[in-house]
């Protein structure tokens, strides 16, 4: 008895769209996103082995990795054995066909990062998702998306940051006019701030240990 599900590939696509992965696929404008990135030179020239993924599939690969929280190696293993994940990445492996290069997610991650146009992609997402947005006048962002150099804004940190910038600018101006260094007690206050910061960390650590 022949299994009609896998030999007839056109039957898989509607079934794929009914899955959670298919719903995620429909919510992402892959074609428009791929248009913002140039195709790798080896895919244009046609030289060498045919690549497993095109730009569209490579973008889908990065979404899939984040969605499933898998390592690069496990992600490729799952794609080799899961037809719905293959559809998500716009590929269809033939029977017995296996992707052996577990570095593909890493390669495409580096390639996309090198040619990424964030502003263009944000406009694409905004246009695609606008019909589903109800409060377009409100903007919010997860704190984990900010740069690591930006610390949590406590009053002491903000005040000391202002003092530090004023001190640096003040010394720069004095140097430009060939004046001697200021006799202010900046170094002493810097030491006090350092001690205060260390004491605070030790107190937090002791509270956690006591709990």
Q: Residue 206 is part of which domain span?
A: 149-210
pLDDT tens digit string along 21-52? 889 999 999 999 999 988 887 666 566 667 88
Give dist(CA 127, CA 203) in Å, integer. 49
Q: Which segment, 40-44, 109-113, 134-138, 158-162, is predicted with the most confidence on average?
A: 109-113
Which residue is listed with tokens 């992402």? 28
Q: How many residues does the structure list for the chain?
A: 211
Does residue 179 sit within a domain? yes
Give dist(CA 185, CA 198) in Å, integer. 20
Structure-block tokens of residue 201: 């960390």
Identify which of 27, 57, 26 has the alpha carbon closest to the alpha carbon of residue 39. Answer: 57
Does residue 2 sit within a domain? no
Give dist(CA 199, CA 205) in Å, integer. 10
Whole-model pTM: value is 0.59
Pair 73, 169 in one domain: no
Pair 108, 85 in one domain: yes
pLDDT tens digit string along 188-206? 888 888 887 777 766 665 5
Does residue 120 sit within a domain? yes
| DSSP code string of 57-96 | HHHHHHHHHHHHT--HHHHHHHHHH-HHHHHHTT--PPTT
Identify which of 20, 94, 98 has the alpha carbon closest to the alpha carbon of residue 64. Answer: 20
Does residue 167 sit within a domain? yes
134, 159, 189 — which closes off a domain?
134
Q: Would the pLDDT of 74 be above 90?
A: yes
Task: Report, as an integer, the average pLDDT of 127-143.
Answer: 80
Quote the pLDDT of residue 91.
Answer: 86
């Amino acid at each position: 008895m022949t299994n009609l599900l896998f030999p007839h590939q056109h039957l898989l696509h509607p079934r794929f769209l009914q899955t959670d992965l298919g719903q995620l696929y429909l919510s992402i404008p892959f074609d428009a996103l791929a248009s913002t990135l140039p195709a790798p030179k080896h895919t244009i020239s046609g030289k060498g082995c045919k690549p497993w993924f095109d730009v569209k599939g490579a973008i889908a690969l990065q979404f899939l990795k984040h969605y499933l929280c898998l390592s690069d190696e496990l992600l490729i293993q799952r794609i080799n054995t899961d037809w719905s994940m293959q559809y998500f990445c716009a590929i269809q492996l033939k029977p017995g066909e296996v992707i052996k290069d577990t570095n593909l997610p890493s390669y495409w991650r580096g390639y996309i990062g090198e040619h990424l146009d964030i502003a263009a992609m944000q406009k694409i997402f905004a246009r695609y998702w606008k019909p589903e947005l109800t409060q377009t006048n409100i903007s919010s962002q997860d704190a984990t998306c900010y740069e690591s150099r930006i610390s949590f804004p406590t009053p002491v940190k903000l005040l000391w940051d202002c003092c530090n910038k004023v001190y640096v600018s003040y010394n720069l101006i004095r140097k430009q006019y060939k004046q001697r260094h200021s006799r202010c007690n900046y170094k002493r206050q810097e030491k006090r701030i350092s001690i205060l910061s260390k004491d605070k960390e030790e107190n937090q650590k002791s509270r956690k240990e006591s709990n």
